[in-house]
Amino acid sequence: MRLVFAGTPEPALPALRALIDSPRHEVVAVVTRPDAPAGRGRRLLRSPVGMLADEHGIEVLTPPKASDPDFLARLTDIAPDCAPVVAYGALLPKVARDIPTHGWVNLHFSLLPAWRGAAPVQASIRAGDEITGASTFRIVRELDAGPVFGVVTERVDRRDTAGDLLGRLAESGAALLAATLDGIEDGTVTAAEQPAADVSYAAKLTVEDARLDFTLPATAVDRTARALTPEPGPWAMFRGERLKLGPVLPVVIDEPLPPGRILVERKRVLVGTATDPVVLGEVQAQGKRRMAATDWARGVRMEQDEELG
């Protein structure tokens, strides 16, 4: 099939590579978000999907909106058989959805109807799911509510960060998406409507969402920190400034430690929660490099009864 691939960030790359390498399909164009400023110089940079397409000489379309008339006209001229989508980052109007012969097929990183929305992997870790997965479905008007072609499952390791889990799902999901497109071309797959029950949503996370709350139990603090790693990155306030954190590890000690209270030991730095304390991994103070929490604690000359909040 002639494909127009829509996607933007790095997790979309395994799927795009799989389709470029497929002997059965031809990626004739990609649609991705417009170039955006990045880095200290705020230089305009192509998205990861756009850069991979450039490497392979594939036409790159960067409409400001999917309803842009010039984009719709070009998509009509291309006349794709199908349009696979992985984390494109914008909603598709009906006029765009109607152009490909076989519609738009989305790869979503959850077992739908669980965790519809922008941050399904983060939501799964935060909720303590033991099993998650990826789904391919036909895009409809409602958010992530279209009929499902297929799924793959993935176990959530107790120490997985969102980055770890998303990396595995991006690879297994790429194979699922390629198989789904093969099946659509052959007429051997059918899409099943999602059940109306057990629908849940995972809204896009902000930096404010990433502030750890040490008044919660250690299990919740641990899950939240892992769900927010690497982006947007967990943090807490220390001496009036934001301190970036990494994953933390719940431990058991003999004496209770009040929520947020910092206890510096010879080889570890602990912070109290509503239950057991957690051990800090790496931290990064403003204007400083990332370092082990023990090195940071020695550098700031920690006083008694100091807290993170």
State pTM to two decimals: 0.93
Predicted pLDDT of residue 41:
75
CA separation, residue 198 to residues 112, 117, 146, 283 (Å): 9, 14, 15, 37
| Predicted pLDDT at 258 | 97
Strand partners for 278? 250, 271
Residues of the chain with confidence (pLDDT) below 50 = none
Return the sign of the alpha-carbon dihedral for residues 117, 121, 127, 130: positive
Alpha-helical regions (H) of 141-291: 162-186, 218-227
Residue 112 annotated as part of some ligand binding site: yes
The per-residue pLDDT for 37 is 85
110 annotated binding-site participant: yes
Name the region of 87 (left: φ>0; alpha: ψ -120 to 50; beta: rest).
Answer: left
CA 278 to CA 273: how far, in whole Å?
7
